[in-house]
Amino acid sequence: MSLLPQQAYLVGGSVRDALLRRQADYLDLDFVLPERAIATAQGIAKHYGAGFVVLDADHQIARVVFANATVDFAQQVGPTILSDLHRRDFTINAIAYSPHSETLLDPLDGCADLQRKTLCMVAAENLEDDPLRLLRAYRQAAQLGFSLDPTTQQTIRNLAPALGQMAAERVRGELDCLLSLPEGSTLLGLAWQDGLLQTWLPEVDRSHFERLATLDQLAAQYHERWPEFSQLLHSWVKEQTTPGLHRSWLKATKLSQLMPPDLASAEATLSQLKYSRAEQQAVLNILKGWQYWQQHQGDTPLPPGQQYQLFKLAGAGFGGIALLSLACGVPEALVLPLIQRY
């Protein structure tokens, strides 16, 4: 604590989550300081033997990396902490905590919105300044189980075309979060309905999001009924050690259902969104396997030769294809034996 300046404030998601009593396996803390943010971060990193990286020298932003936490230090925007909070995206993220005085600063009534479980913008111009915040609203609503304030939602609709101008990597990050959350499919469908996704996913319609919701429901059911199958769905080609990555065969299966059916067009869409080559191949394998199954599945089990070809096309993603077949009405009696054999 002695290494933190008296005017340092903890801000953002960590304050919000603490007020909501939400637990996190990996801490992500954000401090704003009136000055010397990089120097303060460097001193703390040296004191604790932690990692240190300058994220933005011009705006005085640096990160200290611990084993189970990252701590960002940034120079406040504007002359005071109040001016900084007024530039944030949503009121629930515009609450500051002083670790020295142990007091909250809540100039925009974010605590009241937390109690109402409502996501409310600070100001329309703040969303316009960074249009990724438009999509982030739906991701945070899904994460927290919140609803969107009607005025905020209408503002997002009005500004929706601006999301098409954002860097693909940033849009992909929000899509990945939504595809990985239990309530994400519903909010992703709402984001599409409000006009946010047409640039990035031009061929989807309402039925695509209904299928995503069905996949989520089935995944939850099989988590209880068949834990081994659930484990297969939530696995990936290799163990994930980087915090914030959202990779699983379930997510890849859901992503495949937002792609054009033509494989070349699907690959182009995935490439536009800057997915890694491994993720692109995973989604394409699911599409190939699913199309093969659709072509050959009848009222009787696939013969051994076709089963082998299906397994070969799907690779490690067969569990996702099996879940997809169940979501599309293929009887369990034809699907479950294949999962067991796989």
Under DSSP, is residue 75 helix (H, G, I), strand (E, B) or coil?
Answer: strand
Report which listed range, 16-25, 112-121, 209-218, is most confident. 112-121
What percent of the chain has a predicted confidence (pLDDT) above 70?
97
Selected residue with higher pLDDT from 266 and 1: 266
Is the pLDDT confidence value at 4 over 80? yes
Selected residue with higher pLDDT from 335 and 41: 41
Is the pLDDT confidence value at 34 over 90? yes
Rounded CA-CA distance 185/51 in Å is 36
Instruction: Specify burial of residue 78 (Cβ count, 10 A radius: 0-12, 13-18, 19+).
Output: exposed
pLDDT at 238: 62
Is the pLDDT confidence value at 12 over 90? yes
pLDDT at 3: 82
Tokens of residue 271, six digits:
């490439």
Helix, strand, coil share of the chain (percent; to 5): 55, 10, 30
- Topology of the domain comprising 1-116: Beta Polymerase; domain 2 (3.30.460)
Q: What is the mean pLDDT of the chain?
A: 92
Selected residue with higher pLDDT from 202 and 147: 147
At 92-118, the pLDDT tens digits run: 999 999 999 999 999 999 999 999 999
Is the pLDDT confidence value at 152 over 90? yes
The DSSP bridge pattern shows strands 147-148 and 118-119 to be parallel
Under 8 Å CB-to-CB from 301, ≥6 apart: which residues? 334, 337, 338
Under 8 Å CB-to-CB from 43, ≥6 apart: which residues? 3
Is 322 in contact with 293 (CB distance < 8 Å)? no
Is the pLDDT confidence value at 186 over 90? yes
User: For residue 98, which amino acid is it?
Assistant: S
Q: At 231, is the pLDDT very low, low, confident or very high (cuts 50, 70, 90)?
A: confident
Determine if residue 253 is left, alpha or beta; phi over 0 gives left, psi from -120 to 50 gives alpha, anything else beta: alpha
Is the pLDDT confidence value at 245 over 70? no
Is the pLDDT confidence value at 237 over 70? no
Is the pLDDT confidence value at 244 over 70? no
Instruction: Specify burial of residue 237 (Cβ count, 10 A radius: 0-12, 13-18, 19+).
Output: middle
Please name the CATH architecture into which domain 117-200 falls: Orthogonal Bundle (1.10)
Looking at residues 139-150, what average pLDDT do you find? 97
pLDDT at 179: 96
At 62-79, the pLDDT tens digits run: 999 999 999 999 999 899
Is the pLDDT confidence value at 150 over 80? yes
pLDDT at 235: 85
Q: What ranges do the domains of the chain cover?
A: 1-116, 117-200, 202-341
Is the pLDDT confidence value at 242 over 80? no
Q: At 46, is the pLDDT very low, low, confident or very high (cuts 50, 70, 90)?
A: very high
Q: State phi, psi for 9 to the nearest 5 degrees.
A: -125, 135
pLDDT at 23: 87
- End-to-end Cα distance, the chain: 54
pLDDT at 24: 83
Strand order in the sheet with 69-75: 51-56, 61-65, 69-75, 27-33, 9-11, 96-98, 103-105
Q: At 300, is the pLDDT very low, low, confident or very high (cuts 50, 70, 90)?
A: confident
pLDDT at 230: 85
Is the pLDDT confidence value at 320 over 60? yes
- pTM (2 decimals)? 0.90
Is 249 in contact with 232 (CB distance < 8 Å)? yes
Is 260 in contact with 269 (CB distance < 8 Å)? yes
pLDDT at 172: 96
User: What is the Cβ-side half-sphere exposure of residue 231, based on CA atoms within 13 angstroms?
Assistant: 4
